[in-house]
């Protein structure tokens, strides 16, 4: 538990202990009110910090989700590139084999041609002349002549063809090698991207873990706010037990905001807009506008007018016979502690102090300090 949380718990424990042990005079009530206001300021800071922690947690979790998706896409891309590289390497190997075979054919044909050229060189033109003179007639002569020329032309054409094929295969190999190099570079780039994403994921995970620990500590502090309603009950019960318990009001309650009768949130279990969890809503919210007049639901005595935890600026009226009413989130007070008020008298102004998402009056009716549904009392 953090130091701030321990301090908060200490203040609340001290306040409740003092309220239960000692009679509460007007001076003591004012002193305790100041202590409570100090505690409430700490509570509001904790609430704000928790809201920020939740927002940061949501942001980090969203970023982590994006990183995970990028990691998956990157890994798929690396896999695809690897498959393409393997395919190209297979083509390169086959092309190299074709080149080797083609070079062997070229070497063989070149050897044959070389041997023929050496033979012609060594024997001179006599050999060709002997072949031609061996002809039996002119037709045979021409046939022998064409045959010799055809042999030479075919040898040259074959060598040229082999050279062209070898050249084409070499060009294909170079193209495949270039493609393979590009893919390897792309794969390396994706691997580096994966590494960066991994580091970013690790950093975000560390931040998220820290935020979750912080949120847990803040949540523990906010659990102390469960005592806020108990504070009011304890205070009212203590003050009522020290008083005469005489009837101060008429017993029938008028509507606390004459300008507005719209209930925006009734008494009962609901999803708390600030704490983000289901809790008992101990009163009714009336959607009156900022600065609207709040009146006393019945005649009575102001037993508390000040800051109270999530209620913000709150006024509590004692009506006698264990009955009291509470008016929360006020923007301004029009009465002070100890004042006697009449039914319908202006006691404050509507606001949005404390735990509030907008201007409204949170109105409670309590019997012996415990909240009940106001709908059964006001008209």
Q: Which residue has the higher pLDDT, 215 or 363?
A: 363
* In the chain, domain spans: 1-226, 243-379
- pLDDT attached to residue 11: 41
Residues 6+ apart with CB under 8 A from 107: none
In the predicted model, what is the mean pLDDT of residues 276-282?
74
- pLDDT attached to residue 210: 76
pLDDT in tens, 187-228: 788 788 778 878 877 887 887 787 777 777 767 666 665 565
Which DSSP state fits 134?
Answer: T
- pLDDT attached to residue 14: 36
3-state helix, strand, coil split of the chain in percent (to 5) is 65, 15, 20
Which two structure tokens, joined as six digits, stand for 26? 């007007």
Which residues pair with residue 318 across a beta bridge?
A: 301, 324
Q: How far, in Å, CA of 167 to CA of 98, rounded?
A: 12
Nearest C-alpha neighbor of 324 from the set 233, 195, 204:
233
CATH number of 1-226: 1.10.287
Which residues pair with residue 265 across a beta bridge?
A: 285
Q: Superfamily for 243-379?
A: Glucose Permease (Domain IIA) (2.70.70.10)
- pLDDT attached to residue 292: 97
Residues 6+ apart with CB under 8 A from 28: 22
- Tell me the DSSP string of 36-62: HHHHHHHHHHHHHHHHHHHHHHHHHHH
Percentage of the chain beyond pLDDT 70 is: 65
pLDDT in tens, 138-148: 665 556 555 66
Count Cβ atoms within 10 A of the Cβ of residue 179 and give its class: 0-12 exposed, 13-18 middle, 19 or more buried.
middle
Residue reference for tokens 């008429």: 250
Contact predicate 301/323, CB 8 Å = no
Percentage of the chain beyond pLDDT 90 is: 23
C-alpha distances (whole Å) from 28 to each of 18, 25, 68, 230, 239 are 10, 5, 59, 19, 12
pLDDT at 377 over 70: yes
> How would residue 293 be classed by pLDDT, with cut points 50, 70 and 90?
very high
Q: How far, in Å, CA of 239 to CA of 236, rounded?
A: 5
pLDDT at 261 over 90: yes
C-alpha distances (whole Å) from 360 to each of 126, 167, 290 are 125, 88, 7
Q: Which residue has the higher pLDDT, 237 or 25?
A: 237
> How would residue 15 be classed by pLDDT, with cut points 50, 70 and 90?
very low
Nearest C-alpha neighbor of 235 from the set 294, 314, 298:
314
pTM of the model: 0.48
pLDDT in tens, 33-72: 555 666 666 667 777 777 787 788 788 788 878 878 887 8
Q: How far, in Å, CA of 372 to CA of 193, rounded?
A: 61
Residues 6+ apart with CB under 8 A from 296: 256, 317, 325, 341, 342, 343, 344, 345, 347
């Amino acid at each position: 538990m953090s130091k701030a949380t321990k301090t908060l718990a200490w203040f609340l424990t001290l306040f409740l202990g003092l309220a239960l042990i000692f009679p509460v005079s007007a001076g003591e009530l004012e002193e305790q009110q100041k202590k409570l206001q100090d505690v409430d300021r700490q509570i509001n800071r904790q609430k704000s910090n928790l809201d920020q922690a939740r927002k940061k947690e949501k942001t980090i979790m969203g970023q982590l989700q994006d990183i995970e998706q990028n990691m998956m896409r990157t890994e798929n891309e690396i896999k695809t590139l690897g498959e393409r590289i393997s395919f190209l390497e297979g083509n390169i190997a086959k092309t190299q084999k074709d080149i080797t075979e083609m070079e062997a054919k070229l070497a063989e044909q070149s050897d044959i041609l070389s041997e023929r050229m050496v033979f012609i060189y060594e024997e001179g033109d006599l050999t060709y002349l002997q072949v031609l003179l061996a002809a039996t007639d002119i037709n045979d002569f021409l046939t022998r002549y064409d045959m010799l020329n055809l042999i030479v032309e075919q040898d040259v054409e074959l060598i040229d063809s082999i050279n062209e094929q070898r050249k084409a295969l070499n060009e294909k190999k170079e193209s495949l090698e270039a493609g393979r190099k590009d893919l390897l570079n792309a794969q390396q780039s994706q691997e580096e991207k994966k590494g960066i994403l991994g580091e970013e994921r690790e950093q975000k995970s560390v931040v998220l873990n820290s935020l979750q620990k912080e949120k847990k500590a803040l949540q523990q502090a906010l659990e102390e706010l469960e005592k806020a309603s108990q504070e009011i009950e304890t205070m009212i019960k203590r003050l009522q037990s020290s008083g005469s318990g005489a009837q101060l009001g008429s017993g029938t309650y008028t509507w606390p905001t004459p300008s507005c009768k719209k209930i925006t949130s009734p008494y009962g279990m609901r999803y708390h807009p600030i704490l983000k969890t289901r809790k008992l809503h101990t009163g009714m919210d009336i959607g009156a506008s900022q600065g609207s007049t709040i009146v006393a639901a019945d005649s009575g005595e102001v037993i508390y007018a000040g800051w109270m935890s999530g209620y913000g600026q709150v006024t509590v009226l004692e009506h006698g016979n264990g009955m009291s009413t509470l008016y929360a989130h006020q923007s301004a007070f029009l009465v002070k502690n100890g004042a006697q008020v009449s039914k319908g008298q202006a006691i404050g102004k509507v606001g949005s102090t404390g735990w509030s998402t907008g201007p409204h009056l949170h109105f409670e009716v309590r019997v012996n300090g415990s909240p009940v549904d106001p709908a059964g009392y006001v008209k």
